Amino acid sequence: MAIVYGTYQRDEAARLLPLLKVDDASRVVALHDGQAITAAQFVAQVERVAAQLPEAPAAVNLCEDRYAFLVAFCAIALRGQANLLPPSRAPHAVEEVMAAHPGCHAIGDRPLHPAPHRYHVLPPLPVDEAVGGEISWPAIPALQTVAVGYTSGSTGTPRPNAKSWRNLHASTAGNLALLQQVVGERFSVVATVPPQHIYGVEMSILLPLLGEVQVHSGRPFFPADIASALEEMPSPRVLVTTPVHLRALIASGVSLPSLSAMLSATAPMPPELAAEAEQRFHAPLLEVFGSTETCAFASRRMTVDSRWSLYHGVHLHPQPDGTQIEAPQLDAPAVLADIVSLHDEGRRFELRGRHADLLEIAGKRASLGDLTRRLLSIPGVEDGVVFQLDDADAIGVRRIAALVVAPTLDEHGILDVLRESIDPVFLPRPLRRVESLPRNETGKLPRAALLAVLHA
């Protein structure tokens, strides 16, 4: 096996994968500043930016405009460097990532004050650039590390995960197959999530490189801006979003142009929200399941079936403390903290919770996910989360706490309702009302931020 594996590695090391799989010079890859950017223009800009990058092993990609991020991402990779994707754009988070990668630099699409060390502003990307002559379509070594994504920190300290060009090619092929099955071969994407997050990279940066997909360069936040961005894109349209953004979109009452699909990730989709979104916007709502470590590997449509369907070539193997996953985008099997039960000869699964979320107190069991779901089901609760504290009490039990957004309720009333459906040993104490939860750009709740709010 060692000889076979060594031969495979040598073959892979010599293999090149194209930057753009569909090498049609006139194909539109993005809408930037209201103008269509063709593949020819895109390649010319990528190569020009790559030539201007400083010598370095890696670069923090801080571009906010999605097309600028795409150009920088590909230019960094084409230069043989890795895109560093910090868990947030906060200065301290960027500094920590740069300290962990000596010699790296940072690139963005606008001046920053204060700016990170060795920070460079991306040169202008003219939307009306004329490209003539024969185009040389670039390629990147399959095993080259092109990105290092950091986990969000929702379960502790953010951790780095390196991605080769082969890894991202394989995961993008799975995502493309999912969406093409629903909306067709060609489609356009508007995303509300930041491009730095691995979900944003997968669903709004990499898709145009492998398929006939074009993305909107903006990151619309307000409902009216989302509607305007969708209006600018040709149909069929896909909205890439999160449960938090989707809930705000529904509450606004805004009307959207026709959608062919909505895509969600980063947090479980409540069934009620899924049904309301589909009824409101007349399009199927798909969820993808994955992580920074694995990329997306399963999907479901909650209004049809709560079970997850695995992407082609993905296999799960339940273990006592988690689940082993084999996937085309992984170089070796990985272990997830999620507990699953398999169905349909392993092609589908149900999520039973995360090993770290399972609670056992006084011989009784519960999960943080289920406790949070019960909290959110209380009328008057707009947002909330139940989590376990680090410190144990006198008998060695780690306490459970909760933060809740409920302007019309008080703490005692909320606890009284929870007592009706959960065992008293799992009642969160303390439970504190707050004006808002410290969600990051993708709607996740970093553990450090939760603790800071609880102790404020």
- DSSP character string of 7-59: HHHHHHHH-EEES-SS--TT-EEEEETTEEEEHHHHHHHHHHHHHHSPS-SEE
C-beta separation of 228 from 218 below 8 A: no
CA angle 237, 240, 242 (to 5 degrees): 145
Residue 2's contacts (CB-CB under 8 Å, 6 or more residues apart) are none
Going by C-alpha positions, the residue among 19, 111, 34 that lies closest to residue 67 is: 34
H or E segment and range at residue 97: helix 91-99
Q: Which residues of the chain have pLDDT under 70?
A: 1-13, 132-133, 152-156, 354-357, 360-365, 392-397
**Closest to 94 measured CA to CA, from 77, 108, 80:** 108
Q: What are phi and psi of 102, to 5 degrees?
A: -55, 140
Residue whose C-alpha is closest to residue 138's, from 28, 13, 50: 50
Domain 362-455 belongs in CATH node 3.30.300.30: yes
Percent of the chain at pLDDT exceeding 90: 65
What pLDDT is recorded for position 398?
74
Tell me what pLDDT residue 2 has.
Answer: 39
Range 419-435 burial, b when 16+ CB lie within 10 A, else e = eeebeeebebeebebee
Of 315, 244, 249, which is closest to residue 277 (Cα–Cα)?
Answer: 249
Quick check: helix, strand or coil at residue 413? helix
Write down the pLDDT at residue 3: 37
User: What's this model's pTM, rounded to 2 decimal places?
Assistant: 0.83
Question: Domain boundaries in the chain?
Answer: 18-306, 362-455
**Which strand (E) or helix (H) includes residue 321?**
none
Tokens representing residue 450 in the block: 């939760």
**What CATH code is assigned to 18-306?**
3.40.50.12780
Q: Which residues pair with 433 in a beta bridge?
A: 404
CA angle 188, 193, 195 (to 5 degrees): 85
- What is the H or E stretch that residue 335 is in? strand 334-336
The Cα 109–Cα 275 span in angstroms is 38
- C-alpha 436/C-alpha 245 separation (Å) is 14
Q: Quick one: which of 155, 49, 172, 63 has its CA closest to 107?
A: 63
